[in-house]
Structure 1
Amino acid sequence: MWAVIITFLRTWGFIVLLVAGGLGIAYRFVAPAPPQVLRIATGPGPDSAYARATQRYAAALRAEDFRVELVESQGSVENLALLRQGRVDFALMQGGVAVTAPGAAAQGGRAAQDVRLVSLGAVFFEPAWVFVRRDSGRQRLQQLNGARIAMGPEGSGTRALALALLAANAVATDSFVASPLAGTQAAQALLAGEVDAAIFVAAEPGPAISTLMAATDQVELVDFETRAAAYARLLPYVTPVQLPRSGFSLALDLPAEDIVLLAPAASLLAKAEVHPQLVSLFIRILQAEHRGRQSFAPEGRFPSALNPDVPLHRDAARWYESGPTFLQSWMPFWVAVTVERMWVLLIPLLTLALPLIRFAPPLYTWQMESRIYRYYDDLRGIEADLPDALDPSGREALLARLTGLEAKLQKLSVPSAYGRQFYALRRDIAWLRGQLSPRG
């Protein structure tokens, strides 16, 4: 019985070893699993649009069993630096910052040449809200020479866009005073006359913008309607968006007329070596968070490949064109990731396992039958010595050899499926014994 088991294990063990070897070689080509720890840059303050969005991203990622570290920053410019330094893996960035931020020119003038970063898509508009004092006589950006302008701290996307807007209007950087004030401090300074203008970049009006919108007797929101097309041509990362009359407040009729604002689109950036499965997961999260109607965009406008300042990741581009893969549409994230990573293992399974499985039964049959057929060598030897067995002593010697052969057969164990061969051997031994009898 044990001999049968050993033969069975030897047959299938050989096949398992061959397949395991093939799988081991193929596993070297399996894509690595996504990292378990992800670092995401946030924005200035817990109430900023970037901070709120990244908190939602983090919650969605933690639901998929990732560990998420949120790294605070001053805004888009610092986010860009954190990405380039490899200190974070993902970050939201205001459109145009990769072009206008310090160091972009040194890398070729366009961030599309920055091969270290890729975009996963734009997620929402961030209009520039430019407020000027009515008594300053500066209702256009060209008139801000010599003005005191609150434009946020260094490292913020607000300052980067403000400087780009002023540069487009030929306002030299040494012809105005840039104040780092932002938020409610900038609004209070503008109302107090401490600055002549204040620039905010915000997807949703916060307390500072609400305060200034209500102070129509003191400040005015700059309308870019007549020059919107020119700005869009000079600064291709901005899109004109409309704040309709009473769109801010129906009760207060604010604003009193339609106003066109210039809005860059915030995009989610990653390092160029980002794991492809993370790209798919993030786009699913972006769709869940940003696909709905927004203040300055209809439903379904975002996420999108709108005005990318850096190259769009190839998997993101494919997603926006044709949607998710079949597995990612119907399977949980980690299940789809595992299947997509392990597809290469199908090669040894198809090329080795299937043929070897078909080869196993004949191999097992050959081993079992060979345990029976090998006794025919002894049987032929006895038969060859028959001419020498004419005398009694020779006959007794051959009979002794047959008896020994039969004793070995008593210890031989074979499955019932091979009983025909076994009993055929015993029948042949009996025939040969008959040939050795005096009558034979």
Structure 2
Amino acid sequence: MAAARIYRRKWVLIRLPIAVLAVAAMAWLWQAVLPMPPTELTLSSGGPEGVYHAYAQRYAARFAEHGVMLRIASSGGAEENLRRLRGQAAPEAQLAFVQGGVSSAGSAEARSRVQTIARVDVEPLWIFSRVAGLDSLQQLQGLRVSLGPDGSGTRQLATALLAQVRLQPSDLATDSKLTGPGGVEAMRQGKLDAVLLVMSASSPLVKAYLQVPGVHLVQLSRGAALIERMPALQARLLPAGAIDPVARLPARDTTVLVSTASLLAQAELHPALQRLAASVAREVHEPPGLFHRAGEFPSLRRIEYPASAEARRTLARGLPWLERQLPFWWAQFTLRLLVICLPIALVAWWLARLVPAWLRWLIDSRLVRWYGELKYIEYDLEQDTVSGLDASRHIARLRQIDERMKAFTPPDDLLARWFTLRKHIWLVQLGLLKRRGR
């Protein structure tokens, strides 16, 4: 009987294959359905002199505490950061800071590859000028102006602002691309008349421009009209002395246009790393700034790219319970043990017990059926009406059962019943032979 042979070798033929299949299923689900997060990421931060490079360094320190290496890649601006997120520029980045107002560019397919982790900070538009009385964008015509380097968020926003007053970069006497300390020095030497710059108020470059003799911060007289046509911009008041109270920079209260910067991520970034990025953003950006209150950032209001579902849940409710109780990697490992390994292990354990029990039931039922036939023959013998023909028929049937029992090798725990049944068969056969010879 095949069931008996399989049952006798149940550890090799049943339980071992079940264990192997269970381990294979765990490995496949672990790799294909719920893989572990990568251990290295790249964050495209902007220029090395900017505040977001400093933010990126704080991000790297926080990620390192969780066992994730965050490489910082400086860039020329928001456009390059977006290309890196989309895999269109090297090095490819999984996270990036992108200035508001320029991130909406690109096809629907390209936009679908990027998600918003959070809006993280306010970025003012600074217009520094050596020309007295300059208070409108139209007055930049014919002047030597720095609009920022190609591909930068500053240049895109500056070009869009000029287009609102029907100007092009070609309408300027000089369309300079100087930025950073080079732009400060050009203003000091009188080689530039104005500079447009999108940068955090805490950047040293802002203070450096305000300290150049003869340079003042421009307040646009028609800023409200620009805000109406460019929703990414808002107006904020910069109090006198807010940059440097001692030197009283700026010298007077000034209304400046501001946009917001966002932390973006590749849409396919591992969900656990999206949650971690949102949690780190909360730690880094939650304190107050010059243009925002404590707790205003990070947020997901007025975003330009779809919000990451993981980031939204993290910002609203914090990290999942398991990731709050355990270190990051231990939480990921434990989650997979609970979600993948434990259910499969329970199913495998259940099958490893059920299949042998079913086979033993089949073996038991065969023995019980033979016992039933033997009991039927014994009942006929008790009636004392068995003819010689009936006795011969019963003897032939008992011989068939006996032959089948010889080919049947029962498991060890059924040997006693097997021997008892054969003994009873021999006894009944003996009684039938005596009755036939009578």
Q: TM-score, normalised by structure 2?
A: 0.75
Indicate the residue corresponding to 2:163 in structure 1: 167
Indicate the residue corresponding to 1:57 in structure 2: 59
Of residues 339-348 and 301-310 in structure 1, the stretch that sits farther from structure 2 once superposed is: 339-348
TM-fit CA distance, 1:147: 0.9
Residue deviations 1:276-325 (CA, integer Å, cap 9, x gap): 33221211121122122223222211111243232323333444445444
Indicate the residue corresponding to 1:195 in structure 2: 192
Residue among 114, 117, 125 paired with 2:122: 125
Of residues 179-188 and 77-86 in structure 1, the stretch that sits farther from structure 2 once superposed is: 77-86
* Same amino acid, percent of matched pairs: 31
Residue among 253, 263, 284 paired with 1:258: 253
Of residues 146-155 and 227-236 in structure 1, the stretch that sits farther from structure 2 once superposed is: 227-236
Indicate the residue corresponding to 1:90 in structure 2: 95
Distance 1:118 1:285, change over 3 A: same
TM-fit CA distance, 1:203: 1.2
Residues 1:40 and 2:43 aligned together: yes
Counterpart CA distance in 1 for 2:30 and 2:41 is: 25
TM-fit CA distance, 1:66: 3.7
Residues 1:248 and 2:243 aligned together: yes
TM-fit CA distance, 1:132: 1.1
Distance 1:210 1:70, change over 3 A: closer
Counterpart CA distance in 1 for 2:153 and 2:314 is: 28
Counterpart CA distance in 2 for 1:208 and 1:26 is: 51
SS of residue matched to 1:128: strand
Asked if structure 2 preserves the Cα contact closer than 8 Å seen for 1:11 and 1:364, the reply is: no
Residue deviations 1:395-431 (CA, integer Å, cap 9, x gap): xx99xx9xx99xx8xx97744xx79857864884696
SS of residue matched to 1:97: coil
Indicate the residue corresponding to 1:304 in structure 2: 299
Task: Return the letter of the residue paired with 1:30.
Answer: V
Asked if structure 1 preserves the Cα contact closer than 8 Å seen for 2:159 and 2:168, the reply is: no
Counterpart CA distance in 2 for 1:53 and 1:287 is: 12
Distance 1:298 1:5, change over 3 A: farther
Counterpart CA distance in 2 for 1:157 and 1:28 is: 39
**Gapped regions of structure 1 (runs ≥ 5):** 389-393
Asked if structure 2 preserves the Cα contact closer than 8 Å seen for 1:149 and 1:199, the reply is: yes
Distance 1:137 1:24, change over 3 A: closer
TM-fit CA distance, 1:337: 3.9
How much is the aligned-residue C-alpha RMSD, in angstroms? 4.8
**Gapped regions of structure 2 (runs ≥ 5):** none
Counterpart CA distance in 2 for 1:23 and 1:205 is: 50
Distance 1:358 1:228, change over 3 A: farther
SS of residue matched to 1:98: coil
Indicate the residue corresponding to 2:219 in structure 1: 223
Task: Return the letter of the residue paired with 1:132.
Answer: S
TM-fit CA distance, 1:239: 2.7
Task: Return the letter of the residue paired with 2:208.
Answer: T
Asked if structure 2 preserves the Cα contact closer than 8 Å seen for 1:117 and 1:269, the reply is: yes
Residue deviations 1:325-363 (CA, integer Å, cap 9, x gap): 444444443344456667775897499558646735742
Indicate the residue corresponding to 2:285 in structure 1: 290
Asked if structure 2 preserves the Cα contact closer than 8 Å seen for 1:128 and 1:201, the reply is: yes
Task: Return the letter of the residue paired with 1:363.
Answer: W
Distance 1:209 1:21, change over 3 A: closer
Asked if structure 2 preserves the Cα contact closer than 8 Å seen for 1:153 and 1:181, the reply is: yes
Residue among 140, 151, 171 paired with 1:155: 151
Counterpart CA distance in 2 for 1:357 and 1:269 is: 48
Counterpart CA distance in 2 for 1:13 and 1:412 is: 21
TM-fit CA distance, 1:185: 2.3
SS of residue matched to 1:114: helix
Distance 1:412 1:420, change over 3 A: closer
Counterpart CA distance in 2 for 1:124 and 1:278 is: 21
Asked if structure 2 preserves the Cα contact closer than 8 Å seen for 1:236 and 1:307, the reply is: no
